Chains A and B, each alone.
Chain A
Amino acid sequence: MTPNLNTATATPPKTFQVDPTLPGVSFLGTFRSEFAKLKALRTSWWLSILTIGLSAFIAGSVAISYQRFSDEFPSSALDVAVQGQTGSYFAMILLGALGVIAITTEFTTGAIRSSLTAVPRRTTLLGAKALALVAWTGLTTAIMMLLSHVLAAVITDPLGLGDIVTDGEIALMYAKTWLVVVLTALLGFGLGALLRSSAGGIVVLASILFVVQIVLSILYGVTNEAAWVETLIKLEYMNLVDGFINEPSQYSFFPALETGPALLGLLGWTAVPVALGWLSFTRRDS
């Protein structure tokens, strides 16, 4: 007779082990992911095509007008190159809006929950997102500027195709313009991270680019050119842009800072919303 004994031994429950040699989350991987998101966003393409198309149209129009009146108003190659890049002002608002949307679309669609489940280190995610935006807007701006330069060079006499590399002044002006457009996209990105609203971010950005200057101009006249208004005008975003790219004495109607201080001012304008956006992004619930 079999003894009535329970010979079964308790087996501990199996525990699934993740292979530790498999790759984990990386900044490069997150950057690739964020760049792919921008590529998959229709708005990115529309805003970028609009930026390039509009700037090329403006460059062509300005060049044709210049060529028609070149005998009456002769200009240097640098002047023509500056005029040829007028479209960069439109690029600032269009790519700035893309900067806003690049981050707010995560919140408005709820996709941020998926993104943070894959990359819970928020500084890594925000940094990769910002870098992807810089890569996208930097590339778009470069294409826009190159096309505008080619059109202006082909249509007008003073500006040559090769001046983009052989003329130091023109090359520097182009580099500054490129930097301003990319910084403006980052300014929009910071506003988006802070406000988490596409409409809110774009309205604030448009106000910074277009409204503040008008208000300060009126105030400058009303206060009989008061010193404190003059200080505000010097620190106003678009005035800093003019001071940085064009040298204040030539193109500015109002007192402006020199190139170096203007660059610092622009970096400050970008850094403040980006830093506040980072604080909000890393502290607030998603």
Chain B
Amino acid sequence: MITAENLTKRYGSKTAVDGISFQLAPGKVTGFLGPNGSGKSTTMRMAVGLDRPTTGSITIGGKPFAAHKAPLRTVGAVLDAGATHPGRTGRSHLRVLAATHGISAKRVEEVIELTGLGEAARKRIKGYSLGMNQRLGIAAALLGDPAVLIFDEPVNGLDPEGVRWVRSMARQLAVEGRTVFVSSHLMSEMSQTADHLIVLGRGKIIADAPIAELLSSEEHRVLVRTEQTADLANALTTSGVNIEHLDAETLQVTGLDPRSIGRRALETNIVLHELTPQHSTLEDQYMKLTGDHVEYRSGGQKQEKQEAAR
């Protein structure tokens, strides 16, 4: 269980995380979604004590991370694929970490196999690709077989097979009753991995809900094809229903479900060629949620500057 209470982090005049509170339950993959610079990594770093909160707190199982007797068995974290000494081999990096908790060499070999590092574990880390570094980071996180896993952008640099592996691993770890906290700025990634989403924008939580709830909050949109668009539009016109003519034979209806549209068409003897519910994607929802909370946009200018220039 990870609990953040009124968590704030300021760097000088810049507020990276702005009084956020949340609670992550075990048995779920919780996605931490937000644009670049929204405060995801800072929050995760505070969770494992790398950064000190300016105010508020973040605890693991009711205690600060440093207060746990066996930190590696409590939390496995992948915060930065480059958090290793390039001169060491992958195996030596894992052994060095294992030594702190008396974790056996056998377990080191297990995580090497589990993460597919294999022969690469004998090589110096400076020769690793980003993907291999990610696998090494995940191996280190799994070393203590911990109850809580914190992954900051774990699929960065992985090949498609690696991405699928991370997804299924995150799901499996949650099924085993662990708390899995995964950050990403990729909406598509979260939609395939997470059960619950916390969306962050400019250091503040702008959504904290199950993915299904976020998706269902969007109004029904239905694509309808018929040669009698004018008649159908007349038949469907009631308050709360919005009809948009996309082309001569296509309407987009908002505010009515497909069954009601089909029934109304039958009653008025209108032939339908297509009746397709339009599902809102997580990406649509994400763009809607974060639209006003993006700090950095393409072109490298800060939003405030762009707004000031308008």
Q: How far is the CA of A122 from the CA of B52 in the complex (A)?
A: 13
Which of A105, A118, A283 is in CB contact (< 8 Å) with B101? A118
Which residues between 57 and 115 of chain B lie within 8 Å of chain A, taking CB atoms? 65-66, 68-75, 77, 79-80, 82-89, 92-93, 95-97, 99-102
> Which A residues touch B82, using CB under 8 A?
109-110
How far is it, in angstroms, between the C-alpha of A118 and the C-alpha of B143 when the chains are bound?
A: 10
A119 / chain B contacts, CB cutoff of 8 Å = 71, 100
A95-135 interface mask toward B, CB cutoff 8 Å, 1 = contact, 0 = none?
00000000001100111111011111110000000000000
- Which of A28-36, A200-208, A236-244, A264-272 lies on the face that meets chain B? A28-36
User: B162 an interface residue at 8 Å Cβ cutoff?
Assistant: no
Interchain nearest-CB distance for B103 vs A (Å): 8
Contact B75 A30 (CB under 8 A): no
Tell which of B45, B68, B92 touches A40, judged by Cβ atoms closer than 8 Å.
B92
A33, B28: Cβ atoms under 8 Å?
no
Is A109 a contact of B86 with CB atoms below 8 Å?
Answer: yes
Count of interface residues, chain B, beta-carbon cutoff 8 Å = 48
Judged by a CB distance under 8 angstroms, whether A25 is at the interface is: yes
* CB–CB A25/B69 < 8 A: yes
With most chain B CB atoms within 10 A of its CB, the pick from A41, A105, A114, A122 is: A114
Taking a contact as CB atoms under 8 Å apart, the answer to whether B100 and A29 are in contact is yes
Given A37-B85, A119-B100, A285-B50, A113 and B178 contact (CB-CB distance below 8 Å):
no
Smallest Cβ-Cβ distance to A17: which chain B residue: B147
Interface string of B162-192 (1 = CB under 8 A from A): 0000000000000111100000000000000
- Nearest residue, chain A, Cβ from B84: A111
In the bound complex, do residue A41 and residue B87 qualify as a contact, i.e. CB atoms below 8 Å apart? yes
Residues of B within 8 A of A286 (CB): 50-51
**B80 touching A110 by the CB < 8 A rule?**
yes
Q: Say yes or no: B101 contacts A29, CB within 8 Å.
A: yes
> Which residues of chain A are within 8 angstroms of B73 by Cβ–Cβ distance?
18, 22, 24
- CB pair A14–B99 under 8 Å, yes or no, is no
Complex: A121 Cα to B68 Cα, angstroms = 10
Contact yes or no, A24 B101, CB < 8 A:
yes
**Across the interface, do B79 and A117 meet the contact criterion of CB distance under 8 Å?**
yes
Q: Is the CB–CB distance between B80 and A113 below 8 Å?
A: yes
Please name the residue on chain B nearest to A16 by beta carbon.
B177
Given the known A-B contacts A40-B92, A285-B52, are A18 and B71 also in contact in the complex, defined by CB atoms under 8 Å? no
B126: nearest residue on chain A (CB-CB)? A109
Interface residues of A in 143-184 (CB under 8 A from B): none
Report which of B27, B49, B97 forms a contact with A120, defined as CB distance below 8 A.
Answer: B49
Q: Smallest CB-CB separation from A121: which chain B residue?
A: B66
Contact, CB under 8 Å: A26 / B102? yes
Q: Do A16 and B100 touch (CB < 8 A)?
A: no
Near B by CB (< 8 A), chain A positions 1-59 give: 13-18, 22-26, 29-30, 32-33, 36-37, 40-42
Report Cα–Cα, A159/B49, bound state, in Å. 56
- Does B25 touch A at the CB level, under 8 Å? yes
Q: Let me know if B201 is at the binding interface, CB within 8 A.
A: no
Are B97 and A33 interface neighbours, CB within 8 A?
Answer: yes
Q: Which residues on B sit within 8 Å (CB–CB) of A120? A: 48-49, 65-66, 68, 71
- CB–CB B26/A15 < 8 A: yes
Chain A residue numbers with a CB within 8 Å of B93 are 114
Question: Chain B: which residue is nearest A105 at the CB level?
Answer: B85
A27 to chain B minimum Cβ distance, whole angstroms, is 10
Q: Is the CB of A110 within 8 A of B83?
A: yes
Say if the beta carbon of B132 comes within 8 Å of chain A: no
Alpha-carbon distance between A199 and B239 when the two chains are bound, in angstroms: 73
**A-side contacts of B77, CB under 8 Å:** 117
Residue contact B71 to A13, C-beta cutoff 8 Å: no
With A24-B73, A113-B79, A120-B49 in contact, is A14–B96 under 8 Å at CB?
Answer: no
Q: Which residues of B contact A122 (CB under 8 A)?
A: 66
- Provided the pairs A109-B85, A113-B80, A113-B83 are in contact, do residues A25 and B101 lie with their beta carbons within 8 angstroms? yes
Choose from B27, B48, B102, B178 the contact partner of A23 (Cβ within 8 Å): B102
CB distance from B115 to the nearest CB of A (A): 15
Does B83 contact A13, Cβ atoms closer than 8 Å? no
CA of A15 to CA of B200, assembled, Å: 26
Are A30 and B100 closer than 8 Å at their CB atoms?
A: yes
Once bound together, how far apart are the Cα atoms of A29 and B52, in whole Å? 26
**How far is B74's CA from A128's CA once the two chains are assembled, in angstroms?**
21
List chain A residues, Cβ under 8 A from B25: 13
Q: Can you list the 5 inter-chain pairs with the closest CB atoms, starting with the nearest?
A: A13-B27, A24-B70, A14-B177, A120-B66, A24-B69
25 contacts between A and B (CB under 8 A): A13-B27, A16-B147, A17-B147, A25-B71, A25-B72, A26-B100, A29-B102, A32-B100, A33-B96, A33-B97, A36-B96, A37-B96, A41-B85, A110-B80, A112-B83, A113-B83, A114-B84, A114-B93, A116-B50, A117-B50, A118-B72, A120-B66, A121-B66, A285-B50, A285-B52
Other A-B pairs beyond A16-B147, A37-B96, 11, CB < 8 Å: A14-B27, A17-B177, A25-B71, A30-B100, A33-B99, A41-B87, A110-B84, A111-B83, A114-B140, A116-B48, A118-B97
Chain B residues with a Cβ under 8 A of chain A = 25-28, 45, 48-52, 65-66, 68-75, 77, 79-80, 82-89, 92-93, 95-97, 99-102, 140, 145-147, 175-178
